[in-house]
Structure 1
Amino acid sequence: MHAPVTRRKTNAAALLRTAALALLAVFAVTGLTAGPAQAADGDVAWTVRTASNSFGADRSSFSYAANPGGMVEDAMVVANHSAVPLDLAVYAADGFTTDAGQLDLLAKDGRSLGIGAWVHATGGKVRIQPGKTADVPFKVTVPANATPGDYVGGIVTSLTQPDAAEGINVDRRLGIRIKLRVGGELKPNLAIDDLHVNYDGSANPFGKGDATITYRIHNTGNTTLSAQQTLSVSGPFGWLRVEAGEIASPPDLLPGESWNVTVPVHGVAPALRLAATATLTPVLTDPSGSTTSLEPVRATTHGWAAPWPLLLLLVVLVVLAAGAFLLARRSRLRRKSREDARVRKAVEKAIRDKSPQGG
């Protein structure tokens, strides 16, 4: 299916490239919407939108369904709002979900295996006169051996300009998302990986603490999925159950992607042994935009929640009780010893008093 997205780190020798990519990333996120891109000096601005055709009008993105070996033709409209002619490169790239939960696109020289490899714009570049628009036709050619499932990427217009102050080239991108579902057997599936629960108790011996549940949502299927999440923590035999409350849904995860989740659960009793259960209800979106909830996926893990303050209090009480018992026992022994001594003296006196007087 899809290869996992790899994050690349530059070394010191690629510092200028890093700076350029950092500026490029600013436009990569906004560039997946049909809004204007405005240069800092205001000299260059353009917009992109979907063409109106048999696929529809005023589409916010491109969305297709095609079988392996199929082909789709469409177009993007580019408008030049500048006072000078505009020469833009046009290319496609695969998409990936960032750590912030946003869709981004691989750089032009990134290794695309789906949309970026199957979408080709006519000519690979476009020139637009000031105040004019131009259609940019493109084709989506699905390989005959393409694996069924969802593919996401985008078609991008790019302008590279020199930054004299920084001495680097800045690549500004503006594009539109492309969603493609390749026909065949769909296997939507989410997995819960690395589920853990940790407990942080209260200093109050009779108080409750907080549990922290962490896990990773892994899209192991071949469709784009989000999910509804529920979490609960309970003691032995399901006693003292506490729900986590409302949890934000993860972003749409592409096949092969993962999303880390950390959820605090408050008001958890230190029940010695905790059971934390995570439940995911995968949500599948079809090309028309309607959603379907799938069978829930559950996973349970266990962790210790020793009531240390209460145990310490009990130890102190036991020690005090034992001390009080020993003191009371010692006191009784002392009283008994004194009483025995008194009785013994009384007996000795009585014996002396009864013995004959003699000289």
Structure 2
Amino acid sequence: MMLPSTPARAVRVLCAVAAAFLVVSGPALPAAAQSAEDTGTVTWSVRPADEAGEDGRAWVEQELDPGETATEHMAVRNLSGEEVTFRLSAADGYFQENGRFSMLPSDQESVDSGLWIAVQEEVTVGPDETVIVPFTTTVPENATPGDHAAGIAASVLSEQVGEDGATVGVESRVGFRVMTRVTGELAPAASVEAVSSTFDLSWNPLSPGAAQVTFEVVNTGNARLLVTGAVAVGGREVAFPGPDEIDQELLPGDRRTFTVTVDDVWPLVFVPGSVTVTPTVVGEGEGTAIEPVTADAGFWAVPWPQLLTLAGIALLVVSSLRGRRKARTRLEGKLEEAREEGRREALKEDA
């Protein structure tokens, strides 16, 4: 579908959904596209706002009772050089495997808080202008207590021609997350499942190997969790996520797979290991720690290089001992021959 303001050319879009919904533990970067008016690119940003304009929030956090309705606002800014009509929508939100937040594509049906948000279908924004759009969240009477995630976005539809010449419709969205906590009993909980360990053996007997521990963390409660922890193997410990890795949040019901590498591990036939997860509640009551969850991660690691080295040393020792024994036997034989020769010479002299 072509935008009304660009009838002579296909609209090129710079922002994809994955770039629009960012997860960080501190202030989030705003979802925005870079302006490129000279190429006809449509660029825009979407941020939380109040009635007066952008209010500095990265996303919306709200706590509501079942049946309660709350009104929020979004600021849609058109950074392009021409008027653009944006489609507005909301959908269930989720965290990707890499820890970043996104929302369901428009061809998938929401089943949770994405259905609670009502917003007008579209908004027309002039060049380099911002329009404040209200939206409401209405929590159903039978909503379950705890955290529910959704995203709200402004999108543009464009047409792109593939290598086969076929025209494909592309929807690109920019927006932010809307986190709703339904009041009631909060029961945060987590479990560690599907633990497996592998060992990369170093064939240098003087060098240790490396262990890889893979496991799943499951949010079995009803609160959003920030997941941290440590993997201990053979007396060494590695924290996860690493210092350069993104924070990992889990929504209720989410499961996330982690793989942690522990270096400098010696094969000790059986190497003890463990996974300890220390989740904390995110949002209202943030920082509330849950009882750590621990799972066994021990594994068998036969020290073949060291055993082969010991076997080689043993062969050398045995060979040396055998050589010394043979040399001693030969020496004793020669001494006996000399003594026998001496006795014969003595007998000849007496005769």
Q: Partners of 2:299 and 2:14 in 1: how far apart?
A: 41
Q: Provide, for residues 287-337 of structure 1, a one-character-per-residue CA deviation record: whole Å limited to 9, x for no partner.
A: 47x422322111122112332222112111222222233333344445555
2:202 counterpart of 1:202: yes
Aligned residue for 1:292, secondary structure, equals coil
Q: Among 313, 319, 344, which residue is 1:317 paired with?
A: 313
Q: Partners of 1:81 and 1:302 in 2: how far apart?
A: 55
Q: Partners of 1:330 and 1:214 in 2: how far apart?
A: 56
Aligned residue for 2:177, secondary structure, equals strand
Matching residue of 1:74: 72
Matching residue of 1:244: 238
Summarize the Cα distance change of 1:81–1:196 in structure 2 as closer, same or farther, 3 Å threshold: closer
Matching residue of 2:59: 61
Q: Partners of 1:264 and 1:209 in 2: how far apart?
A: 11
Q: Provide, for residues 109-132 of structure 1, a one-character-per-residue CA deviation record: whole Å limited to 9, x for no partner.
A: 21211121111114x233345565
TM alignment of 1:1-359, pairs within 5 A: 26-32=15-21, 34-37=30-33, 41-42=39-40, 44-52=42-50, 57-82=55-80, 84-122=82-120, 124-129=121-126, 133-163=130-160, 167-234=167-234, 241-244=235-238, 247-248=241-242, 250-287=247-284, 290-335=286-331
Aligned residue for 1:252, secondary structure, equals strand
Matching residue of 2:6: none
Which is worse superposed, 311-320 or 40-49? 40-49
Task: Say if 1:161 and 1:170, in contact at 8 Å, map to a contact too.
Answer: yes
- The number of aligned residues is 325
TM-score by length of 2: 0.78
Structure having the higher Rg: 1
Q: Mark the runs of 5 or more structure 2 residues left unpaired by the alignment.
A: 1-11, 22-28
Which is worse superposed, 155-164 or 278-287? 155-164
Summarize the Cα distance change of 1:89–1:353 in structure 2 as closer, same or farther, 3 Å threshold: same
Aligned residue for 1:323, secondary structure, equals helix
Q: Provide, for residues 36-56 of structure 1, a one-character-per-residue CA deviation record: whole Å limited to 9, x for no partner.
A: 4457634644433333269x9
Q: Partners of 1:125 and 1:113 in 2: how far apart?
A: 22
Task: Say if 1:38 and 1:44, in contact at 8 Å, map to a contact too.
Answer: no
Q: Partners of 1:81 and 1:187 in 2: how far apart?
A: 44
TM-score by length of 1: 0.76
Summarize the Cα distance change of 1:35–1:42 in structure 2 as closer, same or farther, 3 Å threshold: farther
Task: Say if 1:218 and 1:257, in contact at 8 Å, map to a contact too.
Answer: yes
CA shift at 1:282, angstroms?
0.5
Task: Say if 2:50 and 2:72, in contact at 8 Å, map to a contact too.
Answer: no
Summarize the Cα distance change of 1:72–1:323 in structure 2 as closer, same or farther, 3 Å threshold: same
Instruction: Report the AA paired with residue 207 of structure 1.
Output: S
Q: Partners of 1:247 and 1:141 in 2: how far apart?
A: 35
Q: Partners of 2:13 and 2:111 in 1: how far apart?
A: 21
Q: Provide, for residues 148-176 of structure 1, a one-character-per-residue CA deviation record: whole Å limited to 9, x for no partner.
A: 22111111222223347873333231222
Tell me the C-alpha RMSD between the 2 structures: 3.5
CA shift at 1:188, angstroms?
1.6
Instruction: Report the AA paired with residue 255 of structure 2.
Output: S
Q: Provide, for residues 234-287 of structure 1, a one-character-per-residue CA deviation record: whole Å limited to 9, x for no partner.
A: 2xxxxxx22226742642122222222222222222322111212111021124
Q: Mark the runs of 5 or more structure 1 residues left unpaired by the alignment.
A: 1-22, 235-240
Task: Say if 2:230 and 2:275, in contact at 8 Å, map to a contact too.
Answer: yes
Instruction: Report the AA paired with residue 147 of structure 1.
Output: T
Instruction: Report the AA paired with residue 115 of structure 1.
Output: S
